[in-house]
Every structure is written in structure tokens, then in C-alpha cells.
Homo-oligomer: A and B are copies of this chain.
Amino acid sequence: MKNMRKICVIVNSRANYGRIKTVLKALKSNPSVSLQIVVGASALLERFGNVRKIINKDGFKITSTLYSVVEGENPTTMAKSTGLAIIELSTIFENLKPDIVLTVADRYETMATAIAASYMNISLAHTQGGEVTGSIDESVRHSITKLAHIHFPATLNAANNLKRLGEDPESIFMTGCPAMDIVANQDLKLEDDFFKKYKGVGPELDPHKPYLVVLQQPVTTEYGKGFNQIEQTIKAIQSIKMQTVWLWPNVDAGSDEITKGIRKFREKEKPSNIHFYKNFSPEDYIKLIGNCVCQVGNSSSALREGSFLGVPVVNIGSRQSNRECGENVIHVENNNEQIQNAINIQIKHGKYKSSKIFGDGNSGQRIADILSKVNLKIQKKLFFNN
């Protein structure tokens, strides 16, 4: 027990969990590892689907929880939530004393984890570094990279970017993204009661008829424009007249504006073809997008999981600008007509060929193996490969 390596994984949102679940599974069954799972931020909140319950249902034991979201969903509270999460996580790390902390992607809770671990001289492992997108996530992702000691990029491009950012090549492990593990092993067949399992609000949907999926997050660096942006998408979806699964956005500066736009539309138009959901389990989410006619919005899942699955995607606006993806994606602006046209093109095109750029389905095991054995060091330095 004393010689086991203590690895602490932080889960902060539903998206986080889907992208780290197979790592958790592999760590749990590794006899040389003592797994600590810390759940915080929106993963604890009812209105984001209470991911805590899903984690428990999947057989994982949660070591510690922390409430860290300061309400307001604006730039100020985003900063404040980061600060609060650092305060909370440092006490948790002080008491759990992990050897490695593993953190996912690029949200503010990820930054909070990175800072707490760094200052506490705990090795920081990071997935999804080196990717290129828009929004504040872009800055934050690279900022976290400069604090992290062990990198698990999802793509070759991303791994290459990490080297160019001066990271030690020996600290970079191109493992692919664990989210693809779930995708690769997922039976995509939709049960008859697929939609009935999830409550949400709206008309009953038929899993055996064509449907669209919409998931549009606010762009934090374009705070204040969210209401107009979501209006364009709403108009486009209305005009398509196909049954639609619409997912509420995650908590972020500007979620409020998106939510307000959707709610206003829903109350006023009572759309007969759209059902609004909070959350799907990671597995069901894959089925959901794997069977849709077209995924619309600006979610990274459309470009990542979507590329693996060959889902036709319409990516809107700047949030994913420059993000790597397969041939399955059409990029458009926040404009009703552009969105409509692109959806219609994708409906005609149908499924694309699967792309493996984001992983081959074995990333979780790979990451867990490396974490259990890798040599740990704290002091970083610039390694430019010139």
C-alpha cells in the first residue's frame, strides 16, 4: 500500500468525464496504482446532469468533492471560480498527497488544477495539450502546457506543437484521446427507448427516424454576442424541420445568454420538433451523435468524436477555429443562411469515412501504463528543437 503510486484524477464536467473514463478504468485495475478521484465544479451540479451519479454508477469510488462554481456565468465569475477551485484543490491535495495529478483539456477548472499541483510540487499530467482552437480555451490550454510535466496529446499535430512550445520531448506521449476508446468500442445501435431514458423537455423523439443534434457553447472571448449567435442557429434549425436533439450548454461566461436565447425561443415558438436535454452518459452520447444525420454547433466533440465516427458536422463560428479535424466538417459563420445551407449539404452527403487522427481506441490503457511507471521530475526548462 505504501509503495503504490498515488494518482489523482480531477473530473470537473460531463465532457471531462467522457474524455478520461477509460483512463480511470485502466488505473483502477492497475495493482501498482492507488487511484484518487476528485469531482468538482459543474460535475456536481444538478443542472448539468449531476455527473457524480454517473461516476458512481460506473463503479468508481469518489475520494473527494468540491463546489467551486461562483454563480454569474460571466467573465468575472469565471476568474473567481478559478480562484476558488485553487483554494479548494490545494487543501484536498494537502490531505491526499498524490504523486501525480491528471487533468483534462482546457477549462478554468483545468487551469485551477494545474496551478495548485504546480505550486505544490506535484507532477502534473495533462491531456489534449497542443491543440489549436479559438476562445479563451486556446490561451489557457497552452498556458497549462507550460506548467505540465507529462503530456498526453491526442494528435500528431498537437504533439508537434508541444515540442515547438519548448516542452521536453521525453515528456510528450502521443497516446491519442481516451474519448476515442469509448467511440471505438461502442455498439452504435439505438434502442427503441433510447430517448425515453432521458427526461429533458419537448416532444417525443423517434430514434429510428433521421434527427439532428445541436450543441452550441458560448465563446467566452466574444462575451455579449451569445444571444444573437444562438438566434442564428435557432432560425436555421427551425427552417430544416427535422426532429432535433438540443443539448444545453455547459457553465461558462455567456452560458446565460445562450440559455436565455433558447428558453425564449422554446417558450414562444413551442417547437414541435425539438427536444432539449441536459446530459447523456458518455456511451449514449456516442450513440447519439454516431446516428445523427448532422451535428450542428461548436462543440469540440463534433470535430473529435465526430471525425472518428464520420458524422457530418456543421461547425459554427470561431470557437473551434483552426482545430484539427477530419473531412467530415463544414465550417460556417454565425449566420442563419450559411448554417442552413451547410446542414442541407451534409444531409445530402451522409456519413463520412472514419478518421483516426484523434486516437485508435486504446488511449486509456496507454495513458494509465505510462502514469504508473513514468519517471517523475518537477523542475521544468525550455527545450527548443532547433
- Residues on A lying within 8 angstroms of B by beta carbon are 44-46, 64-72, 75-80, 82-95, 108, 111-112, 114-116, 118-121, 132, 134-136, 138-140, 142-147, 161, 164-166, 201, 220-221, 223, 251, 253, 256, 260, 267, 318, 322, 378-382, 384, 386
By the criterion CB–CB under 8 Å, are A382 and B134 in contact?
Answer: no
By the criterion CB–CB under 8 Å, are B318 and A379 in contact?
Answer: yes
Give the complex CA separation of A269 and B281 in angstroms: 28
Give the complex CA separation of A69 and B80 in angstroms: 11
Report B-chain residues with C-beta under 8 Å of the C-beta of A382.
132, 142, 161
How many copies the complex holds: the figure is 4
Q: Which one of B87, B135, B164, B267 contacts A88 once the chains associate, using CB atoms below 8 Å?
A: B87
By the criterion CB–CB under 8 Å, are A139 and B164 in contact?
Answer: no
Of A76, A85, A111, A220, most buried by chain B (CB within 10 Å of CB) is A76
For A386, the closest partner residue in chain B by CB is B164
By the criterion CB–CB under 8 Å, are A88 and B85 in contact?
Answer: no
Report B-chain residues with C-beta under 8 Å of the C-beta of A66.
91
By the criterion CB–CB under 8 Å, are B67 and A77 in contact?
Answer: yes
By the criterion CB–CB under 8 Å, are B384 and A164 in contact?
Answer: yes
By the criterion CB–CB under 8 Å, are B82 and A86 in contact?
Answer: yes
Contacts A83-B83, A111-B115 known; A381 to B71 CB distance under 8 Å?
A: no
